[in-house]
A and B are shown apart, each in its own frame.
Chain A
Amino acid sequence: MGLGWYIARRVAWSFVVTFIIVSVTWGLLTAAPNPEVQQAAQQAALAGDDPAEAQDRVRQLRGLDRPLHEQYIGYMTNIYTLNWGWSDSRAQPVTEAVTEALYYTVQYSVPWTLLVVTLGPLVGLYSSANQYSWKDHLATGFAFFGYAIPNFFFGIILLLIFGVELGWIPITYNTDVPVFSVENAIQLAIPVFVLVTGSIGGIMRVSRNESSEFMNADFVKTARAKGVSTYRIYARHVLRPTMVPLSTTMVAQLLALFTGSSILVEVVFSIPGLGRLLFRAIVAQDTSVVLGTSLFFVFVATIGNLLQDLVYTVLDPRISFDDR
């Protein structure tokens, strides 16, 4: 059995996990009172009609009078054929809403993720290499500042400085500019900066602490004695083992930020992405969109965990995938 078989099994397991989550969601939705049915009863009462009759009509119309197993099969079929329903708060299919929003979220989350994944460990390593010096304090201070200051507040401050006062950036996000253009880079620079500063702190601290363990390890001393260059030592002998525990922190933190901070940043910078889509859907009680967006986040989380496991095996040869 090799890596290929392991990946195949992990991917299959991801599908099972998704399947379970979607099934549980269906169970919860079925158990909860349906707002459409309630609304119909209220409308009927308002018009002087029979609320019970109106409820029956809506149940029939929405297929809620069918046996549970039929409803379940229909629901699962719709989910896996990407028929996620209609968004009442946006007057468009849910899949269309999610796709449109994803287009904008990807534009800032890809550079953000890349920057965090590369800068976080590097800053931590740098801090560790210069432990307790002013450089360490500076790097730690930078990381903690970003961690401590609320993203939305920091975003507004930067928007006021660079947008209103200096006029360097547009205040509201312009969807008309091409994705790969200088204008787009300029308008996304501040949101990405805010997200990077907000998420680099945790990664940097874990990276610093973990790498400190290896800075004076025997194998590092041996490498030094053998005359291996400092940069090579940091890159091959310190960073690599550091990345094993770090990858866990990183995936978990990035996922949390993806669903949390990105909402606030999208609201502040008027980016019409997934975070804002979910936020508006919750406020508008648009169940289909909330469900669709949540499903997407479930998908991302599942893939994230899969990647995390794979990275483990690549980074640490002691971890075998054969017996998993």
Chain B
Amino acid sequence: MYDRRGDDERRGMNRRAWLKALGVAGVTGLAGCSGDDGNASTGTESATATDGSELGTSEGTSTGMDELPEVSGTYRTDISGSLATLNPLYNNEQGAADVMSYALDLGYGFRPGTEYFPQLYDLTTDGGDVWVASLREGLQFGGDYGEVTAEDFVYQITELHQSDWAATADAPSWPSELNVERTGTYEFQIELPNPNPLYPETYDPLLYPIPKALLEPFVGEQDAQGLENNAELTELQFVEGGNLGAYSLESWNRSSNITFTRNENYYLREAEDVPDRFGNAPYFEELEVQVTQEQAARLGALEAGQTDSVAVPPNRVTEFDGMDGVDVYQIPQPFNEVCVYNMRDNGWTAGPGNLFQKKKFRQGLGCAVNKQALVQGVFRDYAQVQYTWQPQWSQWYPDESEIMQFGTGDLYGPEATRSRIREAISDTDYSYGNDGQLLTPSGDQVELSLYHSAGQNTERNMAQYIAQEFGDNAGIQVNVQAIDGTQFTNNYWQQQVPDDPSQYEWSNGPYNAGPREVTSANPWDMSVVFGLNTYPLNPTTASVFFSRDSSYNPYGYYPSWDAEELFQRANSAASEEELQPIFTEIFKNVAEDQPMGMLAFPADTVGYSAGIVGPAENFFSGWNFPTWYRNE
């Protein structure tokens, strides 16, 4: 299945930042995957931690337990697609990152309440400009690679991520202006060009441990392909027999299943700064990830008790939640559902000009869709309405009274829509006919295309609802069309990189190859193919979506507010207090400018076997997966 939320086909900075922002420590980032056809990953948390808060505060039974759970049985999860690689240096897919996390921990994660959770290393700072990473002692690679030291991390950063030949997935997080130095056997420091109080929340300093000795031959020959294809990396052989993961990779059958066995030596068992339940973790003898492409088969396996976790589409949540052997959890996630308008020159195929480029017109479209009805009808209430570039549960979400709430109350309906559109077309030859249709200068009804991913039922319903609302409230006829995600990416979403980029003001890769006159191969009007990450922990990373010349602006949006200046201020803020008013201003502007139709934040809905203790309904579900167990 093409992953519509993750937009995993993207390469470069955003892609990695995106992946990271999805979550470390096995967060159920893709568990729902649009609710229709997703990978069930492993989120976790203590069973009683469902306190209703999306960021969570309670850690429930993970602390203060009298007796540790029994180690037994197999935990099985079914995912929809096979994995391209398990190479930590080159993987760009969330599904593979989730699977890797069973056998190899990342540097750190976050606990409920956005509390930093040091795994391999702790990150501390005084002023936000120099961050010190202190490694745990006693971390062991597998084979003959020995202990993990600061040298391994520093070598990896300076010789690979900061090189001009390796093109690792992490490279964009380590620009050359970052100075990284080893300051002890178990300590290294990262010097930032500007202070950043939320540096860990950017996920930029997040690393996998890779042995220096394994990398050296490739570094010597600058052999990027050899590094990418190396079996020790692609199959995680370098951690076999070590203590860096809760489980050990046993076998990887590319198209069918991946099996793991319990790692007796897991380093967090001995750690003192973690909840007691890590004391004998993990609690399953085996772990099996089954690749089951067909959704009916995945759901059937959950119903029949043949698997322990599967993504459940919203229209079947009630049915599965009502089953004796299944619990369905709603897990908040950072991806939104947006209706993107093509503001480039091959957008707005209805006639002359491109009305999407007018803020007032976009506001009119914002008034056309009843978001509450969308959430209830399409997402069966397993979603939140979106007004700006943050979910309501984000600590950076501005006060509701400060932002315009298009699609609700007075800002919804035919009058609200048409009055704004009339204003937008007042200096054009477009007009409204007597029967309420928006007419082109030649007198025909405005007809637009709206693409959605083929095979995604929820998304198709959403597209049809938008088409109906645009027809009723704006007088625009919308033709809904299904398209393969990869095809949409290649032929519609990506622009054609010009042969001579220097002739344009900017040329920033396939997702923003230049100003609006640079276009994709095919014309298109609107799309709901991709959801975008709103980075609720650190929204500064979202600047990429709102800058004219960023590396990710496929829709050709030119903000009518000074996005660059505001994000720059956010990037140089020294404290969270300083950040709050800046973010408020940013999100106020985003809500008002309507860079795209911002519609909803669907929750991941994941079905678990009733006996599994661990999943929780908060954003960090999955941070402590090794402590999950089966309550027989």
Contact = CB atoms under 8 A, between A and B. Distances in A.
| Real binding pair | yes
A97 B11 CA distance: 25
13 contacts: A42-B494, A42-B509, A46-B11, A88-B84, A90-B85, A100-B254, A163-B301, A175-B256, A269-B297, A272-B253, A272-B254, A283-B2, A283-B484
A69 B257 CA distance: 42
Contacts of A268: 294, 296-297
B351 interface: no
Contacts of B413: none
A156 B296 contact: yes
A279 B202 CA distance: 36
Contact of B87 (A51, A91, A267): A91
Say which size band chain A's interface belongs to: 35 or more
Nearest to A39: B11
Given A45-B513, A270-B291, A284-B84, A171 B256 contact: no
Contact of B290 (A39, A101, A270, A280): A270
A119 B82 CA distance: 36
B254 A45 contact: no
Nearest to A96: B254
B322 to A, nearest CB: 15
A156 B294 contact: yes
A265 to B, nearest CB: 10
B581 interface: no
B292 A46 contact: no
Contacts of B86: 91
Interface residues on B, range: 35 or more
Contacts of B292: 171-172, 270
B12 A164 contact: no
Interface string B493-529: 0100101010000011110010000000000000000
B12 A46 contact: yes
Contacts of B257: 175
Best-surrounded residue of B11, B13, B234, B293 (most CB of chain A within 10 A): B293
Contacts of A89: 82, 84
Given A163-B301, A172-B292, 20 more contacts: A42-B509, A43-B11, A43-B167, A45-B509, A45-B510, A51-B499, A51-B501, A52-B499, A89-B84, A97-B254, A156-B294, A164-B304, A172-B307, A175-B256, A268-B294, A270-B297, A277-B255, A280-B81, A283-B486, A285-B486
B577 to A, nearest CB: 35
Contacts of B301: 163, 171-172
A267 B229 CA distance: 27
B35 to A, nearest CB: 19
B303 interface: yes
A160 interface: yes
A92 B304 CA distance: 34
Contacts of B509: 42-43, 45-46
A141 interface: no
B78 interface: yes
Contact of A173 (B256, B307, B499): B256
A167 interface: yes
B507 A172 contact: no
Contacts of B294: 156, 267-268, 270
Contacts of B494: 42
Nearest to A164: B300
B313 to A, nearest CB: 15
Interface in B307-327: 307
Interface in B232-284: 234-235, 253-257
A88 B256 CA distance: 17
B291 A43 contact: no
The 10 tightest CB contacts between A and B, nearest first, are A46-B509, A272-B255, A272-B256, A91-B85, A91-B234, A164-B300, A171-B301, A42-B510, A90-B254, A270-B292
Contact of A170 (B78, B256, B306, B499): B306
A285 B487 CA distance: 10
A104 B234 CA distance: 23
Contacts of A284: 84, 486
B234 A159 contact: no
Given A45-B507, A100-B253, A270-B294, A163 B84 contact: no
A173 B298 CA distance: 11
Interface in A249-270: 267-270
A52 B501 CA distance: 10
A45 B255 contact: no
Interface in A19-52: 39, 41-43, 45-46, 51-52
A46 B253 CA distance: 35
A276 interface: yes
B453 interface: no
B84 A90 contact: yes
A86 B229 contact: yes
* Residue among A86, A100, A172, A175 facing the most chain B CB atoms (10 A cut-off): A172
A159 B296 contact: yes
A43 B171 CA distance: 12
A160 B256 contact: no
Contacts of A175: 253, 256-257
A171 B255 contact: no
Interface string B543-567: 0000000010000000000000000
Nearest to B233: A91
Interface string B24-50: 000000000000000000000000000
A174 to B, nearest CB: 8
A270 B497 contact: no
A270 B293 contact: yes
B257 to A, nearest CB: 6
B255 A276 contact: yes
B283 to A, nearest CB: 22
A272 B257 CA distance: 9
Given A42-B509, A45-B509, A276 B293 contact: yes
B297 A171 contact: yes
A163 B296 CA distance: 11
B97 to A, nearest CB: 14
A283 B2 CA distance: 8
Contacts of B508: 45-46
B293 A92 contact: no
B369 to A, nearest CB: 31
B419 to A, nearest CB: 42
Given A45-B501, A51-B497, A171 B84 contact: no
A164 B297 CA distance: 9
Contacts of A269: 297
A172 B78 contact: yes
Interface centre among B2, B292, B294 (most CB of A within 10 A): B294
